[in-house]
Amino acid sequence: MPQLATATFGAGCFWGVEETYRTLEGVTETAVGYMGGSKPHPTYEDVCSDATGHAEVVQVTYDPERVSYEKLLKIFWENHNPTTLNRQGPDVGTQYRSAIFYHDASQKEAAERSKAELEASGKWPKPIVTEITPAKEFWRAEDYHQKYLMKRGQGSCHV
């Protein structure tokens, strides 16, 4: 049995982010939920109030022998705009912030290194506002949010 690892990313609406990771080779499971806030057991309505401090996140369980954390980070950076504070497309609020929640020191180092490399590349004309913070309690979102786009045969968050 392979030793699995966990990665957690916030990159706007969690439906599209989950779909991006769900189909990736080496990913064994995805779940959408909330992280980074202060209220225990938040609901979607709580988080949407923009008062709990939680971000919509995708928790990715993966086999590091089949997909690296660095590859997961590359996908994270390529699939959202890391320069918009508390916003992705039409979605506005702290729950849509760009965030990497690291689970150990090696993830923190890799996340900081990848962010610095992206900043140095000049790809984005504005500063990258992605927060890199320790993972906190993951609160799984309601069942109807899990694999939302897959269940509807859709491939992006804003269809």
Task: Tell me the pLDDT tens digit for each residue of 20-74.
Answer: 999 999 999 999 999 999 999 999 999 999 999 999 999 999 999 999 999 999 9
**pTM (global) more than 0.75:** yes
The answer, yes or no, to whether residue 104 has pLDDT greater than 50, is: yes
Tell me the mean pLDDT in the region 118-125.
94
Nearest to 55 by CA among 27, 20, 94: 94
- pLDDT for the residue numbered 2: 78
% of the chain residues with pLDDT over 70:
96
Q: One-letter amino acid identity for 87?
A: R
Tell me the mean pLDDT in the region 75-104.
95
Q: All domains of the chain, ordered by start, with CATH? A: 5-152 (3.30.1060.10)
The answer, yes or no, to whether residue 158 has pLDDT greater than 50, is: no
Instruction: Just list the catalytic residues.
Output: 13
- pLDDT for the residue numbered 155: 57
Tell me the mean pLDDT in the region 82-104.
95
Q: At what angle do helices 69-78 and 105-121 cross, to 10 degrees?
A: 40
Query: What is the pLDDT confidence band of residue 143, given thresholds at 50, 70 and 90?
Result: confident
Token pair recorded at residue 5? 């690892």
Task: Report the Cα–Cα distance between both ends of the chain, in Å, rounded.
Answer: 39
- pLDDT for the residue numbered 100: 98
